Amino acid sequence: MPQLPGRRCVSPLVSLTGASASLGTQEVLSGVDLRIDRGEIVTIVGPNGSGKSTLMRVIIGAVPLRQGRLEHAPGLRIGYVPQKLHIDPTLPMTVRRFLSLPRRVSDAAATEALTHAGGAGLAGRQMSDLSGGQFQRVLLARALLNRPDLLILDEATQGLDQPGSAAFYRLIEQLRTELGCGVLMVSHELHVVMAASDRVICLNHHVCCEGAPEHVASAPEYRALFGTGTQGALALYRHQHDHHHDEGCSHGDHDHAHDHDHDAEAPTTHSHEAR
Ligand SMILES: Nc1ncnc2c1ncn2[C@@H]1O[C@H](COP(=O)(O)OP(=O)(O)OP(=O)(O)O)[C@@H](O)[C@H]1O
């Protein structure tokens, strides 16, 4: 159970300062400030084409910055779970073999990663026979092989039904607690993901607003993009937190302390009062 000191005292896993990036002639990100600390779950929400995937790709170093600064903690290990991965269904490949691509890993490491990802027992299965939820767990296991300090998930629950997504995000919370990693994710499933996050960043090429989920859900910038539908749904999920958030809709100035006590089987409800 991570007890984090005030976040201003902790050096971030990743920080972006005044980050701008272009794809072709289009400026996709403009003046983005962001920091992610060990042990926190940060979710990026935003409309289609608002730059969310580009922001992930900037953070993993796949898209260069036109302006601004990207800093990684020394020796930072990143585990990346892509939106989806196409594997030729005619190609026989077990989960165990998939986990050894491109680099061979030991049976013990593969079993440990699968167990952490909620996929114990899948090693001998064919990749082509997995359900959507099992497939995502295998992709998660592959990201965990690297023992990441930061786990990045880009719409990792696309195609799962709502209970499947909720279960996946509960697993992510559990992993954050067990492994103490930071988590950065992108999702369109606003109500599920808002409830599973410590901090939400609303992106529309720039950071529109940022803060605790309830705060962002009631921010005028967020409502202008997504309407008000998320508020009621937030109350459906219980998420036992003892949070000390800076409720300001500001960039990066965010005090953070956790006392997580999760029941993995219980439905997730948010203890914060919806406004
Ligand atoms: N290779 C590229 N060349 C030029 N423009 C691109 C390229 N890839 C993406 N774009 C444009 O950059 C913008 C941001 O794309 P990005 O994929 O980051 O958005 P997103 O918020 O992740 O979208 P979505 O929610 O639809 O996945 C979009 O307008 C997109 O059309």
267 Cα–ligand 1 center, Å: 34
Nearest CA to ligand 1 atom 27: 48
Q: How many domains does the chain have?
A: 1
Pocket test for ligand 1, best of 27, 28, 226 (most atoms within 8 A of CB): 28
DSSP, residue by residue, 91-159: S--BHHHHHTSSS---HHHHHHHHHHTT-TT-TTSBGGG--HHHHHHHHHHHHHTT--SEEEEESTTTT
How many other β-carbons are positioned within 10 Å of the β-carbon of residue 9?
Answer: 7
Average pLDDT rounded to a whole number, residues 126-140 = 92
H/E stretch holding 51:
none
Tell me the per-residue pLDDT of 172-225, one tens digit each, with 9 for 90 and over.
Answer: 999 999 999 999 999 877 777 777 899 999 999 999 989 988 888 778 887 887
> Do the domain assignments include residue 230?
no
Cβ of 51 closer than 6 Å to ligand 1, yes or no, is: yes
Q: Report pLDDT for 9.
A: 55
When comparing pLDDT for 232 and 189, which is higher? 189
Residues 6+ apart with CB under 8 A from 25: none
> Do the domain assignments include residue 139?
yes
Cβ of 52 closer than 6 Å to ligand 1, yes or no, is: yes
Average pLDDT rounded to a whole number, residues 242-252 = 37
Does ipTM surpass 0.90 in this model? yes
Nearest CA to ligand 1 atom 26: 48
> Do the domain assignments include residue 188?
no
> Do the domain assignments include residue 48?
no
Both tokens assigned to 251: 């960039």
Tell me the per-residue pLDDT of 58-104, one tens digit each, with 9 for 90 and over.
Answer: 999 999 999 999 999 999 999 998 877 888 888 899 999 999 998 89
> Do the domain assignments include residue 117?
yes
Between the CA atoms of 98, 59, 1 and 45, what dihedral angle is there, to the nearest 10 degrees?
A: -100
- 2 pLDDT exceeds 80? no
Cβ of 49 closer than 6 Å to ligand 1, yes or no, is: yes
Is the preceding omega at residue 12 within 30 degrees of 0, hence cis?
no
H/E stretch holding 209:
strand 206-211
Q: Which residue has the tokens 């930072």?
A: 76
Residue 275 CA from chain centroid, whole number: 24
Pocket test for ligand 1, best of 27, 50, 58 (most atoms within 8 A of CB): 50
Q: Report pLDDT for 229.
A: 56
- Please return the burial class of 84, using the count of CB atoms within 10 Å of its CB with bins 0-12, 13-18 and 19+: middle
> Do the domain assignments include residue 113?
yes
> Do the domain assignments include residue 130?
yes
Domain span at residue 123 reads 94-146
pTM over 0.90: no
Q: Report pLDDT for 128.
A: 92
To the nearest whole number, what is the mean pLDDT of the chain? 80
Both tokens assigned to 117: 């990802």
> Do the domain assignments include residue 121?
yes
Cα separation, 249 vs 205, whole angstroms: 17
